[in-house]
Amino acid sequence: MKVAVTGADGFLGWHLRVRAKALRPDLEIVPVAQADWPRLAELVAGVDAVIHVAGINRDTDEAVRGGNIALAKDLVAAVNGTPRLVYANSIQVGNGTPYAIGKAGASDVLGEAAARWGSSYTDVRLPNLFGEHGRPAYNSFVATFVASAVAGETPGSLADRPIGLLHAQRAAQALLDGLDGSGVVEPVPHETSVEQVWETLAEFRSVYGGADVPDVTDGFRLDLFNTYRAALFPAGYPLALTPRGDQRGRLVESIRSHGAGGQVFVSTTNEGFTRGEHFHLRKIERFVVLAGRAEIALRKICTSEVVSFEVSGDDPVAIDMPTMWTHNITALDGEATTLFWTNELFDPHHPDTYWENVRPSV
């Protein structure tokens, strides 16, 4: 199935493209970024479905209200008969704000077009989203809080209130599921509070460093920790470890898990050979080279820039692979011995491992 994704260069659009790459290899994704809008008709020609994520949420009241409706009208005119439409709507619909009016109006445009064409239409009403690589002061208060935690600061406003939050990967799954359904869908958020989110991030900041990893046995905490780690990368790595030695030899604490233990293994890699070439959606994976020299390379999915670290067992450090970054390790100058840790036991039926080369061949 050929599926166009509007807003492909935005926060949710990127998460959607990554999830489709990992879990729906049967889909041919056609990304439509903001700069591509003048070419919309060309890009959506011949697609089997459209997931409409593009929207306006920060501008004047009129631009937000009218702009979202205009985007939907542009899409309907460009597609003119797509079999399936899925829309990233908002649970704010009905609250009377310019944003809610614009999102509701866009849904009306899309739903009416689908009815004329005899196509399926799924209206996915999303709550407040958070996740890796959100923009501070734009995508959500969580992204703003994460930026404050990374900077060693406290947010300017901590006015507490209950709030439901949904990780962007869960939102992306709801949109993908919408390709096979119709009607209104409202994913269930995790109920928390503004103050609790900040307290959890502050805890992560106080614990995470060196060998220590906070308790991430709860699914929401894991999602929030992965969001925090993404903001730390790459400037916050490697994490320095402290060797301790005497006449008997040397000891390096490489992982101190404050929650479940997960799984540890050690492997050797022969000079010039590479391990890895995959990414994860949820799991934490730590690399610690204990002997020899190696290069650890990473690339954010759907981008081209490669980030690399040269590490040595003589000065042991830890590098935790951020979620949705493909990564590998290559031995340099002889054999490299590496300790690997993940926060969960390997399940061959649900490995959360998706193959993609860090440096794809041209």
Q: Do 56 and 178 have their domain in common?
A: yes
With a cut of 60, say whether residue 95 has pLDDT above it.
yes
CA–CA gap between residue 93 and residue 28 (Å, rounded): 31
Confidence of residue 86 (pLDDT cuts 50, 70, 90): very high
Asked whether residue 223 is domain-assigned, the answer is: no
> 209-233, pLDDT tens digit by residue?
999 999 999 999 999 999 999 999 9
Kindly state whether residue 231 falls inside one of the protein's structural domains: no
Residues 5-15 have a mean pLDDT of 98
Nearest to 343 by CA among 222, 162, 206: 222
Q: Is residue 208 part of a domain?
A: no
Same domain, 177 and 286: no
Average pLDDT over residues 6-21: 98
Q: Domain check: are 7 and 136 in the same one?
A: yes
What is the pLDDT confidence band of residue 158, given thresholds at 50, 70 and 90?
Answer: confident
175 and 293 within one domain: no
On whether the pTM is more than 0.75, the answer is: yes
Spatial distance between the Cα atoms of 8 and 20, rounded to a whole number of angstroms: 12
Number of domains observed in the structure of the chain? 2
* In a domain? residue 232: no
Average pLDDT, the chain: 96
Last residue of a domain, which of 144, 165, 197?
Answer: 197
The CATH number of whichever domain residue 254 belongs to comes to 2.60.120.10
The reply to whether 30 and 137 lie within a common domain is: yes
Instruction: Check whether residue 130 and residue 13 sit in a common domain.
Output: yes
Pairing between β-strand 249-252 and β-strand 243-246 as defined by DSSP bridges = antiparallel
| Residue 107 clears pLDDT 80, i.e. is over it | yes
Cα distance between residue 275 and residue 331, in whole Å: 9
Q: What does the chain come to in residues?
A: 362
Inside any domain, residue 226: no
pLDDT for 361: 75
Residues 133 and 10 in one domain: yes
123 belongs to a structural domain:
yes
> Residue 99 is part of a domain; what is its CATH number?
3.40.50.720
In this predicted structure, the answer to whether residue 100 has a pLDDT above a threshold of 60 is: yes
Same domain? For 244 and 181 the reply is no
Q: Does 272 lie in the same domain as 133?
A: no
Q: 106: domain range?
A: 2-197
Q: Which comes out higher in pLDDT, residue 208 or 82?
A: 208
- Which positions ≥6 away from 351 have C-beta within 8 Å? none
Question: Residue 108 has what pLDDT?
Answer: 98
Alpha-carbon distance of 257 to 220, in angstroms, equals 17
pLDDT at 11 over 70: yes
Domain boundary among 170, 197, 224: 197
158 and 300: one domain? no
Q: What is the pLDDT of residue 156?
A: 82
- pLDDT tops 80 at residue 137: yes
Q: Give the pLDDT confidence score for residue 358 in this predicted structure.
A: 98
Do the domain assignments include residue 211? no
pLDDT score of 136: 95
Residues 246 and 147 in one domain: no
Percentages helix, strand, coil for the chain (3-state, rounded to 5) are: 30, 35, 35
Residue where one domain finishes, among candidates 141, 164, 197: 197
Say if residue 98 is in the same domain as residue 243.
Answer: no
Q: With respect to residue 225, please indicate whether it lies within any of the assigned structural domains.
A: no
pLDDT at 59: 87
Asked if residue 260 has pLDDT above 80, the reply is no
